Amino acid sequence: MAYSIIGQYVPTESFIHRLDPRSKIISVFTLAIVLFLAGTFPTLLFMAGVSLILAYLTRIPFYYYVKSIKPILVLISFFFLFHLVFTRVGTEWFSVGAIGIYSGGAAKGAFVALRILTLLMFASFLTLTTKVTDLTDGLEWLLSPLTRLKIPVHEMVLMMSIALRYIPILTEETDKLTRAQAARGADIKSGPILSRLKALQPLLLPLIIQSFKRADTMAHAMEARGYQLGGKRTSLRELTWKRLDTWTLGFTFFAAVGIILWK
Q: Is the dihedral of CA 139, 142, 146, 147 positive or negative?
A: positive
Contacts of 184 (CB under 8 A, 6+ apart): none
From 162-171, 195-204, 235-244, the region with the lowest mean pLDDT: 195-204
What own/partner pairs with CB < 8 Å and gap ≥ 24 does 239-245 have? 239/20, 239/21, 239/22, 239/134, 239/137, 239/138, 239/141, 240/20, 241/20, 241/22, 241/23, 242/19, 242/20, 244/15, 244/18, 244/19, 245/19, 245/20, 245/22, 245/23
pLDDT digits (tens, 9 = 90+) for 133-179: 888 888 888 888 888 888 888 778 888 777 777 777 777 777 777 77
Q: At what angle do helices 243-262 and 21-37 cross, to 10 degrees?
A: 0
Task: Compute CA 101 distance to the chain's CA centroid, rounded to the nearest angstrom.
Answer: 31
The whole-number pLDDT of residue 1 equals 41
Q: Phi, psi (5° rounding) for residue 94? A: -165, 165
Average pLDDT for 240-255? 90
Q: Mapped to the 3 state alphabet, what secondary structure does 182-236 carry?
A: HHCCCCCCCCCHHHHHHHHHHHHHHHHHHHHHHHHHHHHHHHHCCCCCCCCCCCC
Q: What is the pTM of this model?
A: 0.76
Q: Phi, psi (5° rounding) for residue 129? A: -105, 0
pLDDT digits (tens, 9 = 90+) for 74-100: 888 888 888 888 887 777 777 776 677
What own/partner pairs with CB < 8 Å and gap ≥ 24 does 235-240 have? 235/137, 237/133, 237/134, 237/137, 239/20, 239/21, 239/22, 239/134, 239/137, 239/138, 239/141, 240/20
